[in-house]
C-alpha cells in the first residue's frame, strides 16, 4: 500500500527567500503529482512528474522526481506572498489502480 | 465547458440523519473518487469507482455509501453510522491517464 509523507507540515518564509518541500513515498508510484489548495477551495494541479529525473518549472515553483530515492521535491524560489497556500503531493499506485494517495500537505505562509 | 460539479456547497446534518452529496461530471471520465479532508490532514480516500456499476472501498469507507449507476454521477451518502462527519468532501474524476479533475467541494457540518 502506497504511503506518502511530506515535510515540513508548516513552513513560514520571508519574501525573497528560497525553500524546499519534500515528499517521500513508500513503494513504487508510477507518477507523482503536486497540487496547491487555497483556504476553503478545491485543488489546483501544479505538476505531474512521470519519470526518474523529471523536472518541471512554472514561475517560482520547480518540482523534481527521483524514483530511486522515492523522493519528490517542490522548490520555491524568491517566495512572494501570493504563494501562501497549502501544497500537497500525491502518488499513484500504478497498474490498473488509478487512485491517488496524498501526503498531509505543507501549509506555506510567506511573510513580507 | 467540461467539468465536475459538486452540490451543495454547504450542507448541515442533524444527528442521526443520512445526507447525500452530489457529484456530476461531463468529462467522459471512467473513474470517480470521493475524498474527505479534515483540518491539518491530507485527503483521505472514502470510495472510488473505475467503471459504472462497480466501486471499491477506500481507506475510510465506514459510515459512507456510494452508487455508480451512471458514468456521469457518483453520489456519496453520509449515514448516521458515521460518527464524526464534519469535514470538507472533495469529488474527483480521471481518465486512465493523468487527467484528474477535482470538484469545488462540499463542506458538511453536524448541527
Q: What is the pLDDT of residues B16-70, one digit of tens each?
A: 899 999 999 999 999 999 999 998 788 999 999 999 999 999 999 999 999 999 9
Whether B40 sits inside 8 A of A9 (CB atoms) is: yes
| B98 pLDDT more than 80 | no
Instruction: Tell me the pLDDT tens digit for each residue of A51-78.
Output: 888 999 999 999 999 999 999 999 999 9
For residue B8, whether the previous peptide bond is cis, meaning omega lies within 30 degrees of 0, is: yes
- Lowest mean pLDDT: which of B48-52, B95-99, B106-110? B95-99
Residue B42 pLDDT: 86
Integer Cα distance of A12 and A98 in angstroms = 33
Mean residue pLDDT across chain A: 92
Q: Which residues of chain A have pLDDT under 50?
A: none
Chain A 51-90, residues with CB within 8 Å of chain B CB atoms: 88, 90
Residue A59 buriedness (CB in 10 A; 0-12 / 13-18 / 19+): exposed
Whether A102 sits inside 8 A of B31 (CB atoms) is: no
| B111 pLDDT more than 90 | no
Residue A73 pLDDT: 97
Integer Cα distance of B69 and A31 in angstroms = 30
Task: Return the percentage of chain B with pLDDT > 70, whole number.
Answer: 97
CA distance, residue A100 to nearest chain B CA (Å) = 8
Nearest CB to B48: which of A41, A43, A99? A99
Residue B36 buriedness (CB in 10 A; 0-12 / 13-18 / 19+): buried
CA distance, residue A88 to nearest chain B CA (Å) = 7
Nearest CB to A99: which of B33, B98, B105? B33
> Who has greater pLDDT, A47 or B95?
A47
Nearest-Cα residue of chain B relative to residue A10? B40
- Average pLDDT of B84-100? 88
Closest CA to B13 of B77, B74, B67: B77
List the grid coordinates of B100.
484528474
Whether B50 sits inside 8 A of A48 (CB atoms) is: no
Amino acid at each position: 500500500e502506497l504511503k506518502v509523507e511530506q515535510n515540513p507540515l508548516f513552513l513560514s518564509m520571508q519574501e525573497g527567500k528560497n525553500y524546499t518541500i519534500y515528499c517521500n513515498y513508500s513503494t513504487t508510484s508510477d507518477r507523482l503529482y503536486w497540487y496547491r489548495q487555497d483556504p476553503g477551495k478545491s485543488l489546483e494541479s501544479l505538476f505531474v512528474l512521470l519519470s526518474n529525473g523529471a523536472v518541471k518549472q512554472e514561475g517560482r515553483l520547480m518540482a523534481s522526481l527521483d524514483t530511486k530515492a522515492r523522493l519528490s521535491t517542490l522548490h520555491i524560489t524568491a517566495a512572494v506572498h501570493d504563494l501562501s497556500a497549502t501544497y500537497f503531493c500525491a502518488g499513484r499506485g500504478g497498474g490498473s489502480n488509478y487512485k491517488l494517495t496524498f501526503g498531509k500537505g505543507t501549509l506555506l505562509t510567506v511573510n513580507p | 465547458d467540461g467539468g465536475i460539479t459538486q452540490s451543495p456547497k454547504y450542507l448541515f446534518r442533524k444527528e442521526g440523519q443520512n445526507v447525500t452529496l452530489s457529484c456530476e461530471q461531463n468529462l467522459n471520465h471512467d473513474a470517480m473518487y470521493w475524498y474527505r479532508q479534515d483540518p491539518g490532514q491530507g485527503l483521505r480516500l472514502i470510495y472510488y469507482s473505475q467503471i459504472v456499476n462497480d466501486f471499491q472501498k477506500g481507506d475510510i469507507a465506514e459510515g459512507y455509501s456510494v452508487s455508480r449507476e451512471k458514468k456521469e454521477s457518483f453520489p456519496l451518502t453520509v449515514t448516521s453510522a458515521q460518527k464524526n462527519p464534519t469535514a470538507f468532501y472533495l469529488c474527483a474524476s480521471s481518465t486512465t491517464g493523468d487527467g484528474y479533475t477535482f470538484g469545488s467541494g462540499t463542506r458538511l457540518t453536524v448541527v
